[in-house]
Amino acid sequence: MARILVTGALGQIGSELVPALRQRYGVDNVVATDLKALQPSGAAALAPDDHLDCTEPNQLHEAVRRYDIDSIYHLAALLSASAEAAPQLAWSVNMSGLYNVLEVARAYGCQVFFPSSIGAFGPDTQRDMTPQVAVQRPTTIYGITKVAGELLCDYYASRFGIDTRGLRLPGLISYVAAPGGGTTDYAVEMFYHAIRYGRYTCFLSADTRLDMAYMPDAITGMVDLMAADASRLRYRNAYNITAMSVTPEDIAAAIRKHIPGFEIDYDVDPVRQAIADSWPRSLDDSAAHADWDWAPRYDLDAMTKDMLARLTEKLK
């Protein structure tokens, strides 16, 4: 039975990944950790729980040793907009954190999941149907840490035989926890504002096209990739995945099918717009389909229907 450690477990992804892992592998086999204080009886209901700063190698060694961990989902990071506001801190958390995780994995023979991002591409990348293997010259500190992270995962796999696996995640839409300072946060905010106020002012322009996925698909993807037959995996850095390639206007139109009076206007934030303009408009995720059977269940309409229903219930 797997014994799993999750770093950055209180974030947008960890809040849903930890319960999913606990359902599959048992509560006691999943150790949720974060820099923020974990509250055993809090919203995320994480237990057993631990404070763990991934930039402190001793804390990682201690957790892996104490809980006899054999698999690490390393979620702790600064996201794109937060990283751009604090580039030095982003380098430290995103790079030292991953390095420490890989080193502890080397010492104890752990499997490692690394979440890369569409931010690992840049303006020189082919922007439509971006292939699995493409030019990666990002212009953001976030993207730079993600490319370096992908390369480091590849290196630890080939040099030390560590079982590293990763996804280039698109923007993730979810209702459990708030997003943590990314460029695609607008997509989540739009649903909250649609239900609460019937209107939303978007910080990206109407026609900014980016890849997205609904959180349940992303969680299934992470767990399936980690359980996949290693002999089928051609890539140890990160696989492109996507479920939809959409603009703010597309999401607003999908919401209007359920909330007819919903209005959207635009007040573009130049920093986040520049980040979005440097990213792919759509990804080719055929390698993920071929190698470990990636098959998202939610397209734009299915995601919108579920998201509005769940969020309406949550906001009652």
Residues marked as catalytic: 142
What is the per-residue DSSP string for 133-191? S-----SSHHHHHHHHHHHHHHHHHHHH---EEEEEE-EEE-SSS---S-TTHHHHHHH
Q: How far is the CB of 263 from ligand NAD (least distance, A)?
A: 25
Please state, in angstroms and rounded to a whole number, the distance separating the CA atoms of residues 254 and 250: 6
- 38 SS3 class: coil
* The binder of ligand NAD chosen from 166, 171, 248, 296 (CB under 6 A): 171
In 3D space, the residue among 51, 59, 57 whose CA is nearest the CA of residue 33 turns out to be 51
Residues, the chain, total? 316
* Cis, bond preceding 115 (omega within 30 deg of 0): no
Radius of gyration of the chain (CA): 19
Q: Does 132 bind ligand NAD (CB under 6 A)?
A: no
79 forms part of the interface with ligand NAD (CB under 6 A): yes
Minimal CA–CA distance to 176: which of 38, 17, 8, 4? 17
Which is closer to ligand NAD, CB of 9 or CB of 194? Answer: 9
Which of the stretches 5-13, 122-130, 274-282, 298-306 binds ligand NAD when contact is defined by CB under 6 A? 5-13
> Residues 246 to 285: which contact ligand NAD by CB under 6 A?
none
Site for ligand NAD in 183-212 (CB under 6 A): 184
Shortest distance, position 235 Cβ to ligand NAD, whole Å: 16
Q: How far apart are CA 172 and CA 174, in angstroms?
A: 6
Please, are residues 167 and 241 in contact by the beta-carbon 8 Å criterion? yes
**Closer residue to ligand NAD in complex, CB, 51/314:** 51
Choice between 54 and 244, CB closer to ligand NAD: 54
Does 238 interact with ligand NAD (rule: CB under 6 A)?
no
Choose, by CB under 6 A, the member of 122, 180, 221, 296 that binds ligand NAD: 180
Q: Is 172 in the site for ligand NAD (CB under 6 A)?
A: yes
CB nearer to ligand NAD: pick between 20 and 259: 20
Helices 248-256/300-315 angle, 10° precision:
70
Query: Contact 142/94 with Cβ under 8 angstroms?
Result: yes
Minimum separation from the CB atom of position 160 to ligand NAD (A): 22
Of 76 and 194, which CB lies nearer to ligand NAD in the complex structure?
A: 76
Binding mask 22-51 for ligand NAD (x = CB under 6 A): ------------xxx---------------
Q: What is the binding site for ligand NAD (CB under 6 A)?
A: 7-8, 10-14, 34-36, 52-55, 75-77, 79, 93, 97, 115, 117, 169, 171-172, 179-182, 184
